[in-house]
Structure 1
Amino acid sequence: MTPDATVERPIEDLAPDWIGLKMEVEDEHGVTVGFRLGRYEKSTVDGRPVWRLFSDHPSWSVTVYGGTKLRWVPPPAPVSPTVPYPMQQPVPAAHPAPQAPQYPAGLPPAPVARSAQSWVTPPRQ
């Protein structure tokens, strides 16, 4: 990660909306690890807050303690309309748009004459 593209925040600020972000953290042995956050668990061991961070893929985890700094890459800015390849496809409408009538432009078709027999099952031929 490049220093100008990262944000450094304390582990205490970790929130569910960070899941999916690319991160770097130093473990308790001073080893820097980078991963995409898949999930996390927060607990307390001997009165000390502990976070277990799980990578998205491949599956592994790292344990860190309170006061640890997370470095992460903020999500990309929304794509502008001038970019030819948008990152997300538009969401289709929940209901289809109303369709235009199928008869020719101008007048609708003339009504069909009805009789008492036209409202019942047509006679067999």
Structure 2
Amino acid sequence: MNIIISNASSDPIYIQIMNQIRQSILSGELHAGDSLPSIRQLAKDLQVSVITTKRAYEELEKEKLIDSVVGKGCFVSGANKDFIREQHMKRLEEKIIEIIRDSKELNMSKHDLIEHLSLLFEEE
């Protein structure tokens, strides 16, 4: 897992960490049961505060994407696949809404957008 922190980003550092770990889990790069770096180790590797990494892990735990085991560390949750799929679908819907708004700014019709999407889908 490779986490990159950007000082130019408007997102707080803990959000950047959270988003990148979440993406690794939802994309399948990290699997249920995989261990995550300790809070202290991640803070050291990223050269950020332990409080920052702790907050990122706490938020991921609230989302049920990771589990904390006292004395053992943090692990990718064994949450059921339907829950993870639902989280992924939610993020996809947000991106689609952004595309719809952008297409409306370009005065594209619904038909044109669907045609363009179909073409790109077939090429991919």
Same-fold call, TM cutoff 0.5: no
Scaled by the length of structure 1, the TM-score of the pair is 0.24
- Tell which structure's C-alpha radius of gyration is larger: 1
Scaled by the length of structure 2, the TM-score of the pair is 0.24
